[in-house]
Chain A
Amino acid sequence: NAGVTQTPKFQVLKTGQSMTLQCAQDMNHEYMSWYRQDPGMGLRLIHYSVGAGITDQGEVPNGYNVSRSTTEDFPLRLLSAAPSQTSVYFCASSYLFLGGGTTGKRYNEQFFGPGTRLTVL
């Protein structure tokens, strides 16, 4: 298994440009998510999806769009890049948490991709 893959690894954009960060997983995970990591801020959730056709907002969704047309892919779109979106972006996936009584590692661990470092000038 390749696990969670992200492309590109690095990207430089000018203010106002648009782009899509790609994320794919081959573990048949229902849940996928995007986080951004900023110095001194930890990781913050941007958007997430609990299955194909279902997406929802996280803590910092403004300026980003997502869609989930397949189980495997979860792209993140920046519609009009701003310097405040300079960050490292991580995609993650997991089996869906099923709630009380569920045991086993498969229902607890999120797998992270290697990240995309984005700079907006």
Chain B
Amino acid sequence: GNSVTQMEGPVTLSEEAFLTINCTYTATGYPSLFWYVQYPGEGLQLLLKATKADDKGSNKGFEATYRKETTSFHLEKGSVQVSDSAVYFCALRNQAGTALIFGKGTTLSVSS
């Protein structure tokens, strides 16, 4: 079945540090992949997406590349800010398009 595995948190970084949050998936076919972000007390917002192999999604300085050969979609940012502190979820959409399958989430805490 479909599943998403992302690195356990929390991840604690200093401002301007490099961020990587690992995400791997198991799925039939070629699912679309997403990163969502949840700021404290809020709902989820789409951060970036990729719909086919080798696609790179990017937004707000975050990037992730759809790697079919390693079934991965790791999230990276070159220089994090305090305002990036949030919970990050990796997700895939099932082939029927009827559901998002989420990872368990990774909490990022950035200090100044």
Residues of A in contact with B (beta carbons under 8 Å apart): 4, 31, 33, 35, 40-45, 48, 50, 56, 58-59, 90, 92, 96-99, 108-110, 112-115
20 residue pairs A–B, Cβ–Cβ below 8 Å: A31-B98, A33-B99, A35-B102, A42-B4, A42-B102, A42-B103, A42-B104, A45-B99, A45-B100, A48-B99, A50-B98, A56-B98, A59-B99, A90-B44, A92-B100, A97-B98, A112-B36, A112-B43, A114-B43, A115-B43
Interface residue tally on B, bucketed by range: 20 to 34
In the complex the two chains form, is B89's CB within 8 Å of A58's CB? no
Mark each residue of chain B from 69 to 109: 1 if its CB lies under 8 Å from any CB of chain A, else 0: 00000000000000000000100010001111011110000
Q: In chain A, what residue has the closest Cβ to B44?
A: A112
Q: Which of B10-44 contact A (CB under 8 A)?
A: 32, 34, 36, 42-44
User: How many A-B contacts at CB < 8 Å in the complex?
Assistant: 53
In the complex the two chains form, is A108's CB within 8 Å of B100's CB? no
Nearest CB of chain B from residue A11's CB, rounded to whole Å: 16
